[in-house]
């Protein structure tokens, strides 16, 4: 017969064991982060200097911009983000209505049925163009192909920008591309004026640029100079680019910067987006600064061959892998994009993620939905939060998101889950830049793969 004291001791042991097991299970499922680390400070804190062929990346809305670039609130950024996402999804599904774009005012009108490019993103870099060099701060965008800057004399319209507008007359290495040049005939949307090639790009948010296709010397770093860099010299530029001098495309076409550098740097590039707007990241051209911990294959969508699709097959919240078939993601496809802010998921996938996340966050007060974000919390009562770890599963690669990849600050002490559901199951998923923060994301085009390295930047 077992004594009562033995039963008590056994019960106490079980309680201690269960308590220990529960705490450690939670430790494996949850992470703790300070609320302050999710927010930018009022001053800029640059990361360590980059090496080799890398350029400093800053958020155009943060204190590191320092050049009076246009600034958006977090909520207005979401509205802008929705425009970009709509353009991506329409481009992939082929649902754009036909329309015309006008080149250089009323001079020439040509069809623009091949689809819209994606447009103004969040992050900018500074480079030098021409001889002698002139500094230009431009948006970089993996969803775009044509590089361009505003150019004098701004024959129709230019918006305000931080640096002086580029003047091709002052560059001894500037050349216009002729209408018969293969560089011109290779454009999907082009025109011709007195023998000079015209380009036109219309973006999904309604922004646009029109001008002369040209070449000049591009100085990325003191040791990396690209002669005969092909770019658009914009004479009619409108929209949401204000403050930036133009755009640098990192898509998969022959006109993008990475393609033009392929002869010297092997068509490999990587970037690290900082955790907050008060820190800096980098865009690296050539071999990555940190070797990726793993790779997943780049896939191609025939409707949008210049975009980077990857094979998302599942999501975990804590130790729970959501009960979703890979076909939920594969039937519509998933692309990764530097310019989209909030990750978009198929409706079924987002509903499962939201339900599991909310069930594990009941200790925190809910806050009202903000724009497209419907799972929001008020963290005013504490300095730290414990949240369920979110892991994205790709073919051959699992990526665990840091706290800044889970929450999006929308003002004050309110933070929202940085995911949203598509309105239509036929729309593709998009991995946004919030879920890319702090990783060095490597695009190995010859190897047809994308890799992630943790702690690429602060």
- Two structure tokens written together for 333: 């496809």
Please report the DSSP string for 50-109 in residue order. P-TTEEEEEETTSTT--S------HHHHHHHHHHHHHHHHHHHHT-PPP-EEEETTTTEE
Catalytic residue selected from 81, 141, 311, 444: 141
Euclidean distance between CA atoms 245 and 43, whole angstroms: 23
CA atoms within 13 A on the CB side of 25: 8
Give me the sign of the Cα torsion angle 114, 120, 121, 127. Answer: positive
Question: Distance between CA atoms of 190 and 77, rounded to whole angstroms?
Answer: 31
Is 277 noted as a catalytic residue in this protein? no
DSSP structure class, residue 322: P
Report helix, strand or coil for 169: helix
Q: What are phi and psi of 195, to 5 degrees?
A: 85, -5
CA–CA gap between residue 307 and residue 299 (Å, rounded): 9
The Cα 286–Cα 265 span in angstroms is 5
Enter the DSSP assignment of 203. Answer: B
Residues 277 and 71: beta-carbon distance below 8 Å: no
Separation CA 371–CA 386 (nearest Å)? 24
Distance between CA atoms of residues 197 and 270, nearest Å? 32
Given 81, 216, 337, 444, the catalytic residue: 337
- Told to judge if 141 belongs to the known catalytic residues of this protein, a careful annotator would answer yes
Task: Give the integer Cα–Cα distance in Å for 123 and 91.
Answer: 22
Which distant-in-sequence residues (6+ apart) come within 8 Å of 256 by Cβ?
144, 145, 147, 249, 250, 306
How many other CB atoms sit within 10 Å of the CB of residue 42?
7
Active site residues: 141, 337
């Amino acid at each position: 017969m077992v004594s009562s004291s033995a039963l008590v001791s056994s019960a106490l042991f079980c309680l201690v064991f269960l308590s220990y097991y529960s705490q450690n299970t939670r430790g494996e499922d949850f992470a703790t982060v300070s609320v302050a680390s999710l927010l930018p400070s009022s001053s800029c804190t640059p990361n360590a200097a980059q090496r080799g062929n890398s350029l400093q990346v800053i958020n155009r809305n943060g204190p590191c911009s320092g050049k009076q670039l246009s600034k958006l609130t977090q909520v207005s950024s979401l509205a802008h983000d929705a425009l970009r996402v709509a353009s991506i999804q329409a481009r992939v599904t082929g649902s754009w209505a036909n329309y015309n774009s006008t080149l250089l005012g009323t001079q020439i009108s040509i069809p623009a049925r091949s689809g819209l490019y994606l447009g103004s993103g969040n992050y900018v870099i500074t480079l030098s163009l021409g001889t002698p060099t002139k500094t230009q701060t431009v948006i970089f965008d993996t969803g775009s192909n044509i590089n361009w800057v505003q150019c004098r004399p701004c024959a129709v319209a230019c918006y305000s920008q931080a640096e002086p507008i580029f003047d091709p007359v002052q560059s001894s290495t500037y050349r216009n591309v002729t209408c018969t040049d293969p560089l011109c005939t290779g454009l999907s949307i082009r025109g011709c004026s007195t023998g000079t090639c015209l380009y036109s790009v219309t973006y999904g948010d309604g922004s646009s640029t029109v001008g002369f296709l040209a070449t000049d010397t591009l100085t990325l770093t003191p040791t990396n100079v690209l002669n005969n860099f092909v770019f658009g010299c914009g004479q009619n530029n409108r929209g949401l680019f204000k403050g930036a001098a133009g755009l640098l495309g990192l898509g998969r076409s022959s006109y993008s910067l990475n393609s033009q550098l392929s002869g010297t740097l092997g068509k490999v590039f990587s970037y690290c987006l900082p955790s907050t707007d008060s820190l800096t990241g980098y865009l690296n051209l050539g071999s990555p600064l940190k070797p990726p911990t793993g790779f997943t294959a780049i896939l191609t969508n025939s409707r949008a061959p210049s975009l980077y699709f990857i094979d998302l097959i599942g999501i975990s919240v804590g130790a729970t892998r959501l009960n979703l078939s890979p076909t939920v993601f594969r039937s519509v496809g998933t692309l990764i994009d530097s310019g989209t802010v909030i990750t978009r998921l198929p409706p079924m996938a987002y509903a499962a993620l939201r339900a599991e996340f909310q069930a594990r966050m009941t200790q925190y007060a809910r806050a009202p939905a903000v724009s497209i974000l419907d799972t929001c919390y008020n963290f005013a009562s504490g300095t730290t939060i414990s949240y369920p770890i979110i892991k994205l599963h790709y073919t051959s690669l699992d990526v665990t998101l840091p706290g800044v990849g889970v929450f999006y600050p929308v003002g004050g002490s309110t933070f929202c889950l940085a995911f949203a559901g598509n309105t239509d199951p036929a729309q593709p998923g998009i991995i946004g830049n919030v879920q890319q923060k702090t990783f060095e994301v490597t695009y190995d085009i010859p190897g047809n793969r994308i890799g992630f390295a943790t702690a690429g930047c602060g």
